[in-house]
């Protein structure tokens, strides 16, 4: 269990983790999976783009939804 927690902290601080500014902004709007699921997919996609996410934002939005 301790190693699992350590891995979680490590991933949180990596460039793609929760420390990213775009991830923090998404969490401000949808802090848990339930509010994220209630947002329309197109809104999640638009927020990701607006907050600076690059690449396949549609796939990222699907994963969050």
Q: Tens of pLDDT along 10-61? A: 444 456 677 888 888 888 988 988 998 899 999 999 998 998 888 888 998 8
Instruction: Give me the pLDDT at residue 10, please.
Output: 47
Residue 8, pLDDT > 70, answer no
Instruction: Give me the pLDDT at residue 45, please.
Output: 92
Instruction: Give me the pLDDT at residue 16, please.
Output: 66
Instruction: Give me the pLDDT at residue 51, please.
Output: 87
Q: Residues 6 or more apart from 33 whose CB is under 8 A from it?
A: none
Q: Per the structure block, which two tokens stand in for 54?
A: 């690059």
This prediction's pTM = 0.63
Cα distance between residue 17 and residue 25, in whole Å: 13
Cα distance between residue 35 and residue 28, in whole Å: 11
């Amino acid at each position: 269990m301790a190693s699992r927690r350590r891995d979680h902290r490590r991933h949180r601080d990596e460039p793609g983790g929760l420390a990213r500014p775009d991830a923090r902004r998404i969490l401000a709007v949808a802090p848990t999976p339930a509010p994220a699921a209630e947002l329309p997919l197109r809104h999640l996609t638009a927020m990701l783009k607006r907050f600076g996410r690059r690449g396949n934002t549609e796939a990222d939005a699907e994963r969050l939804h």
